[in-house]
A = this chain, B = another copy of it.
Amino acid sequence: MSRLGASIRDVARETGLSTATISRVVNGGTRVSEETRKRVLDACARLDYLPNPAARALSTRRSKVVAAIIPTIEHSVFAKFIAAIERTLGLRGYSLVLAISNSDEAEELAAARKLLGMGADAFILSGQTHSGALLNMLAKRQVPYAHTSVWDPDSTCPTVGYDNAGLAKEAVKHLHSHGHRNVAIVHGPLVESDRTQARCDGARSLHGLFDTLDFFETPLSVAGGKACVGRTLADGGGYSAYLCFSDVLALGAYFACADAGKRIPQDVSVMGFDNLDWAAEVVPPLTTIDLPAFGMGEAVGAQIVECLETNAPLQSQLLPARIIQRGSVARLT
C-alpha cells in the first residue's frame, strides 16, 4: 500500500500548511481559501499524493468498500449483475469486493467473515435464505445488507429483485394460453437456490390448468439441460413444451432437440428464463423472460451507497420483468 507514496505531512511540509488544511482541501474543501486550495492541489499533483486508505478508514470508520457474495459468477446473469454493481459503486467512489459462495451456506459465512474482516461497509447477498450466524454477525455490527434476485415485500430484510413465483406463473400461463397442456419444467438444483424453489412453487400452484405438469431437476448448465431434455425426449414423455428456468438450460434443450431430430417449435416448444444476450440469436429465437440483471445491480448499488451516505434505510424494490415473445413457442390450435 503506497509504501513509497507521499503522505499528508509531506504535502503539508511542501506547502507550509498544516495537515488539517491539506485534509480539508482533499475532502470537499470546506473553509479553505481559494488560493490555498490551489496551492495544495498543485502540491498534491506534484508529489503524486494519494491519501492512505487505511488511515482514512481508521479515522472515519468507513472503508467505502461494499461486499457482494454470489453463488457463482459463471452464469451470465450474475456476471451482468456484478458488472452493474461495480459500475454503480465505482461512479460514486466505492469499490466492490467479491466473494463466491458456490451456493454453500458455510462458504458464504466464511466469506462474509473474511469480507467483514476486510472492512466492508455493506453487504449484497444473493437470494433470501442465509445462515442465521451470517445475519447475526451483520446485525450485531450494524452493517447494512440487501438480498437480491428476490422480491418479498413481507421480508424483514430489504429485498431488491423480481417476483420469482409470479414470473413463473406468468410463464406457465403463457404456455397455457398457447394451448399447451403437457408441459415439462426443467430447473436447476433446488437446494442451491431459493429462487429456483420459488419459481417451482409458483408454477406448481397452477398445475390444475394442465393435463401434466412435470418437474425435472438437473445441473444448471447447457449440459444439464441437454441431458435432461434428451432423456425425456427419448422416454417419449410427450410434452408439447419445455419451460426452462434458465436460458442456459433452454440452450441445452435446443441441442437435445437437434440430437433427437425434433424441430422447435414445430415439434416441441421451448421457453427460457433470463433473456441472455444470445437469446434473440438462437434459431429459432428464444421466447423467454427478461430479467433485469443489470438494472438490479444498479438498483442495489445505488441504494447501498445512499444508505451509507445518508443513513437512509434500505428498501425493498421490485424490478420489472416481462415475457419476451420470440419464435420458440408454438401456438397449438
Expressed in whole angstroms, the Cα–Cα distance for A3 and B83 within the complex equals 29
Render A217-236 as a binary contact track against B, CB cut-off 8 A, 1 for contact: 00001110010000000000
Residue of B nearest to A68 (CB): B98
Neighbouring B residues of A53 by C-beta, 8 Å? 54, 57, 63, 117-119
- Stretch from A29-37, A88-96, A191-199, A312-320 at the B interface: A88-96
Contact of A222 among B2, B82, B137, B278 (CB under 8 A): B278
With A48-B140, A73-B83, A223-B277: A97-B99 Cβ-Cβ less than 8 Å: no
- Taking a contact as CB atoms under 8 Å apart, the answer to whether B62 and A72 are in contact is no
Q: Does A25 contact B (CB under 8 A)?
A: no
Is A259 in the interface zone, CB < 8 Å from B? Answer: yes
Mark A175-203 against chain B: 1 for CB-CB distance below 8 A, else 0. 00000000000000000000000000000
Chain A 59-72 per-residue mask, 1 if CB under 8 angstroms from chain B, else 0: 00111110000001
A321 → chain B closest CB, angstroms: 19
Instruction: Judge whether A76 is part of the interface by a CB distance below 8 angstroms.
Output: yes
In whole angstroms, how far apart are the Cα atoms of A64 and B58 in the complex?
16
- A5 contacts partner chain B, Cβ-Cβ < 8 Å: yes
Q: Assess whether A52 is interfacial by the CB under 8 Å rule.
A: yes
Task: State how many angstroms separate the Cβ of A226 from the closest Cβ of chain B.
Answer: 5
- CB neighbours (8 Å) of A111 from chain B are 90
Q: Pick the residue among B3, B83, B120 that contacts A100 (CB under 8 A).
A: B83
**How far, in Å, is A308 (CB) from chain B's closest CB?**
11
Bound Cα distance A95, B115 (Å): 7
Instruction: Kindly identify which residue among B95, B142, B259, B282 contacts A97, using a CB–CB cutoff of 8 Å.
Output: B95
Is B277's CB under 8 angstroms from A118's CB? no
Cβ-defined contact, B97 with A90, below 8 A:
no
From known contacts A61-B3, A93-B114, infer whether A277 and B121 are also in contact, taking CB-CB under 8 Å: no
**Contact A62/B140 with A86-B98, A117-B50 known, Cβ cut-off 8 Å:** no
Let me know if A58 and B52 touch, CB within 8 A.
yes
* CB-defined A-B contacts under 8 Å, sample of 17: A1-B61, A4-B142, A5-B140, A5-B141, A50-B117, A51-B117, A53-B63, A54-B54, A54-B119, A57-B57, A58-B58, A73-B73, A73-B79, A76-B79, A87-B100, A96-B97, A222-B277
Please name the 10 residue pairs, one residue from A and one from B, whose CB atoms are nearest each other, closest first.
A54-B57, A222-B278, A53-B119, A258-B283, A54-B58, A222-B281, A73-B79, A1-B119, A54-B54, A95-B118
